[in-house]
Amino acid sequence: MSNASALTKPKWSKRKRKEALWAYLFIAPTLLGLFVFYMMPALASFGLSFTNWNGITPPQFIGLDNIVRLFQSGSFIRTLINTFVFTVVSVPMAVILATGIAVLLNQKIKGMVVYRTIYFLPMVTMPVAVGMVWKWLYNTDYGLLNYLLGLLHLPQPAWLFNPNIALLSVIAVYVWMTVGNNIILILAGLQGISQTYYEAAQIDGASKFKQLIKITIPLLTPTLFFVFITGMISSLQVFDLIFIMIGDSHVLLEPLRTLVYGVYESGFEYSQMGYASAQAFLLFLAILTVTIAQFAFQKKWVHYDG
Amino acid sequence: MGKTLHIVLLIVISAVILAGCGTNTGSDDNTLEVALWDEKISGAVDASIEEFNKEHPDVEVKVTYTPYANYFTKLRTSLGGGSGPDVFWMNGPNFYEYATFGLIKDLEPFIEKDSEFSKDVYFDSVIDLYSHEGHLYAAPYFSDIVGLFYNKRLFDEAGLDYPDETWTWDDIKEKGELLTNKEAGIYGYSASVVSNQAGYYNLIPQAGGYMINEEKTKSGFDSPETREALHFVKDLIDEGIAPTVQTQIESNPRDLFMSGLIAIHPEISVNAEMFYSELGDDLGVAPLPAGKEEATITHGIGWAMNGDTEKEELAWELIKHLSGEKGNQFIAETGFSIPAQEDMSDLWVESIPGLDLQVFIDAQEVAYPYPLSQNTIQWQDIEQAEIQGAFLGYKSIDEALDNVAKEMNLILDTEQID
C-alpha cells in the first residue's frame, strides 16, 4: 500500500535531518525571543501571583490570598464589568462598521486607494498620539468637538467626566482606531470571494441586498471570525488609550478602570507585584475562556468555502 | 557540519539569554547615569556636569529626563530590577520608602570622610526632609516654596491695585470677583484642587489646621479648619471666580494662567522662570494671602545615590558638584528655584530682575512643611481621588474629607506597627 509508510515512523534520510536542523536554526531566534521575553515572564508572573512581593525584598508565599482579596475588592469587580462592557460594545461595533465600509470600499471607482489609505491611517498612528489628540478634542471647555456643538447650539457634554458617558467616549475612540485594521482584513476576505457566485446570483435575478446577505456575509464568516477573535483579545487588554486619556487623574479612573489598568496600577504604582500578577493571571484565564468559547461556537456560524 | 551547527546554535542561545539577563549597572566603568524629571533645570545640571568633567575628563555622564508623572514608577521598577541610574532626584513623598528599603545609599559615610561637604550650609528644612534616623540620604539641591503669582495686565484692566503682603482670604474673594470676566473666559483666582502643594495644602494651615499631626499619627483632614479651607475653595468655584475642577483637570490652571485666563495663581517657586518667559513684565508675585494665620508650603529636591551602584566614589563626586557651592550658584543664576544653600538666596533673587523673588525668601519665615509620613503616596492617592471627586459633584466635601481622614488614619496606624 502506498500509505503504509505513513503508518510506520518515517525514517529520515541524513539530508532531511540536516534540513530540519537548519529549519530549527532559522526559527531559533524567534523561538528564543518568545521564550525569554514572553514565556518566562508569563510563568514567573504565574508563580508570583501566589506571593506578596514589592519588587525589592524577597517575595513571600501567601497562597491564594491575592485571588481572595481580588474578589473581595469592589474595585476589581468594577474593573471586570468595565472591561466586559468595553469589549462587548467595542468589538461588534468595530466589526459591523468595518464590514459596511469594506463593502463600500470593495468597488472599482476612481481614487479608491486614497479612501482605503484614509480609513487605514488611524491604525498606523501610535495609540499614544491618538489618545493625546482625542483628549484635546474632548476637552469640555476648549475642545474642538464642544466648540462645534456650541456653534450648533447643542448641549456640550463633559465627555470624559460624566461617569455615564466616559466609557462610551473612550470606546468611540477605540473603535475609530481599530476599524481601519478590520477594514483591511475584511477587504482581503471580500476579494477572496469568487466572482462566479455573484454571476450565478445575477442570472437567477437576486438583488444586490440578497447577494450581500446570502453570498457575501456567509463567505466572509471565516474572516469575520478571525477579526472577532483578535479584536476581543486586544480589547480585553485595552490600556494605552485609557492611560493617556485619563491616566493621571485617579478620580476619573473609576468608570474607566480596565483589567490591564488594574495590573499596571497595582504593580507599578503601588508596587504590589504579587497582587498585580494575580490580576494578570485572571485576565489570561478570561481571554483563554473567551477564545475557546468562540472556537466552540464557530461551527454554528462560520462557513468555510468549498 | 553537524558540530559547527551545534556550536552556532549554542552561541545564538547564549547570546540571547545573556542579552536578556544582563543589567545596566556596571555596564561601563566610565559612565554615570543621572535621572531627574524637570527639564527646566537642564542648564544648571549641564553646567555642574561640565565642572565635574574638568576633574574627571574620562567619565561620561548621561542625563535622562522622565516626566514627573512616570518618573518614580520607572525609577522604582529599574532599581527593583537591580539596575537604574547612579544618581537621581528624590522628593519628599517617596523618600521614606527608598531610604528604608536600601534603594538609596546612606550618604553619612561619605560626608564623614569628606571635609568639603557640610550639612550646615543648607536650609534646615531640606536637610530634615532627607534625613532618616539622623542620617542624610539625599544631598539638598534646591528648596521650593509657594507664592502668589498674578497677571498685572488683568489687574490694570480691572483698575485694581496689585496684591501685597496685607492681603487676606477676603481680598481673594473680593478682588477675585472683580477680576473675573465670564464673557472673556477670565477667572479671578485659580483655587487649584489638582495641585495640593500649590493649592489647598497652603489653605489648611492658614485656617489654623494641619494635614498630618507632628507625631505623624493622625490625619487632620476631618478637622473644622480643613473643612473651612476646602469650603472656601468650593465657594470660589461655585461663584465662578475660580475654574471648576473639571476645567482644572482638563486644562491645568498653570496653563490657563500662562495663557492670561487666570488673574491670580498660587504656584511653586520652580515655575517662576517659566511664567516670566511666558508673561514677561505682566507677571508679578506677592506673598500668599493670610487666613487666620500665615503659612506657605515648603519642600525641596535632593540628589540620591543608587543603593546598588558600583561607582559610589564617582557618584559621590558628582553629587558634590551638583549640590556644592558651584552647583548652587548655577541654580541661582538660571533662576530655577531657591538654591538649597542659604547663602545663595541673594544670587537667585537677582536672577529675574523683573520679578520680586525676595517674596519667596521672606516666605521662609512662615514656611510650613510638606505633609509626609511613611506611606505618603498611598494616602495622597486617596486624598486626591476623594477631594477631586467631591468637587466634581460625586459626593459632598464633608463626606470626602471624612473618608480621607478615615483611610489615612488606617494607613498611619499600620505605620505605627512597623
Q: In a mutagenesis test of the A interface, which of B250, B252, B391 is the best target, namely the one with the most A β-carbons within 10 Å?
A: B250
Closest chain A residue to the Cα of B9, Cα to Cα: A25
Whether B68 has its CB under 8 Å from any CB of chain A: the answer is no
Residues of A in contact with B67 (CB under 8 A): none
The verdict on a CB contact (< 8 Å) between A248 and B69 is yes
Query: Is B383 part of any domain?
Result: no
The verdict on a CB contact (< 8 Å) between B16 and A140 is no
Whether A126 has its CB under 8 Å from any CB of chain B: the answer is no
Is the domain of B115 the same as that of B154? Answer: no
Whether A139 has its CB under 8 Å from any CB of chain B: the answer is yes
Give the pLDDT confidence score for residue B7 in this predicted structure. 64
CA B298 to CA B296: how far, in whole Å?
Answer: 6
Is the domain of B48 the same as that of B170? Answer: no
A119-159 pLDDT, tens digit per residue, is 888 888 888 899 999 999 999 888 999 999 999 999 889 89
Residues of A in contact with B378 (CB under 8 A): 270
Query: Is B260 part of any domain?
Result: yes
For residue B274, count CB atoms less than 10 angstroms from its CB and return exposed for 0-12, middle for 13-18, buried for 19 or more. middle
Give the pLDDT confidence score for residue A10 in this predicted structure. 62
Nearest CA to A181 among A235, A131, A136, A138? A235
Query: Is B3 part of any domain?
Result: no
Query: Is B314 part of any domain?
Result: yes
The residue assigned the cell 518515517 is A10
Is the domain of B81 the same as that of B166? Answer: no
B170–chain A nearest CA distance, Å: 28
Give the pLDDT confidence score for residue A254 in this predicted structure. 75
- Which domains are delineated in chain A? 73-301 (1.10.3720.10)
Whether A140 has its CB under 8 Å from any CB of chain B: the answer is yes
Query: Is B316 part of any domain?
Result: yes
Is the domain of B222 the same as that of B318? Answer: no
Mean pLDDT, chain A, rounded, equals: 88
Domain range for B268: 145-298
Whether A36 has its CB under 8 Å from any CB of chain B: the answer is yes
Is the domain of B95 the same as that of B67? Answer: yes
Give the pLDDT confidence score for residue B19 in this predicted structure. 55
CA B42 to CA B217: how far, in whole Å?
Answer: 39
The verdict on a CB contact (< 8 Å) between A28 and B20 is no
- Strands B138-151 and B262-268, by their bridges, are antiparallel
Give the pLDDT confidence score for residue B108 in this predicted structure. 95
CA B406 to CA B216: how far, in whole Å?
Answer: 14
The verdict on a CB contact (< 8 Å) between B69 and A142 is no
Q: State how far the alpha carbon of B297 is from the alpha carbons of A285, B94, B358, in Å.
A: 48, 17, 16
Closest chain A residue to the Cα of B379, Cα to Cα: A270
Minimal Cβ distance to A269: which of B73, B81, B388: B73
CB atoms near residue B341 (< 10 Å) = 26
CA B108 to CA B101: how far, in whole Å?
Answer: 17
Residues of A in contact with B69 (CB under 8 A): 247-248
Nearest CA to B286 among B150, B145, B143? B150
Q: DSSP string of A134-197?
A: HHHHH-TTT-HHHHHHHHTT-----TTTSTTTHHHHHHHHHHHHHHHHHHHHHHHHHHTS-HHH
Whether the complex's predicted ipTM is more than 0.85 is answered with no
Whether A17 has its CB under 8 Å from any CB of chain B: the answer is no
Q: Give the pLDDT band of residue A4 (cuts 50, 70, 90).
A: very low
Q: State how far the alpha carbon of B190 is from the alpha carbons of B68, B146, B257, in Å.
A: 22, 14, 8
b/e for B113-147, b at 16 or more Cβ within 10 A? eeeebeeebbbebbbebbbeeeebbbbbbbbbbbb
Is the domain of B100 the same as that of B197? Answer: no
B304–chain A nearest CA distance, Å: 17
CB A50 within 8 A of CB A63: yes
Whether B251 has its CB under 8 Å from any CB of chain A: the answer is yes
Is the domain of B72 the same as that of B51? Answer: yes
CB B392 within 8 A of CB B193: no
The verdict on a CB contact (< 8 Å) between B80 and A269 is no
The DSSP output letter for B162 is P
Give the pLDDT confidence score for residue A117 in this predicted structure. 87
Query: Is B1 part of any domain?
Result: no
Residues of chain B with pLDDT under 50: 1, 22-27
Give the pLDDT confidence score for residue B120 in this predicted structure. 92
Is the domain of B118 the same as that of B73? Answer: yes
A21-70 pLDDT, tens digit per residue, is 999 999 999 999 999 999 999 999 999 999 998 888 888 999 999 999 99
Give the pLDDT confidence score for residue B23 in this predicted structure. 47
Is the domain of B268 the same as that of B218? Answer: yes
Query: Is B219 part of any domain?
Result: yes
Domain boundary among B311, B327, B349: B349
Q: A23: which 3 cell numbers? A: 529549519
Whether A21 has its CB under 8 Å from any CB of chain B: the answer is yes
CB atoms near residue B1 (< 10 Å) = 7
Domain boundary among B236, B269, B298: B298
Query: Domain tally for chain B?
Result: 2
CB B67 within 8 A of CB B40: no
Is the domain of B287 the same as that of B335? Answer: no
Whether B76 has its CB under 8 Å from any CB of chain A: the answer is yes
Query: Is B387 part of any domain?
Result: no
Give the pLDDT confidence score for residue B393 in this predicted structure. 87
The verdict on a CB contact (< 8 Å) between B388 and A251 is yes
Is the domain of B341 the same as that of B201? Answer: no
The domain spanning residue B274 has which CATH number? 3.40.190.10
Residues of B in contact with A22 (CB under 8 A): 5
Q: Give the pLDDT band of residue A2 (cuts 50, 70, 90).
A: very low
Element (H, E) at B62: strand B60-65
Is the domain of B168 the same as that of B225? Answer: yes
Closest chain B residue to the Cα of A162, Cα to Cα: B392
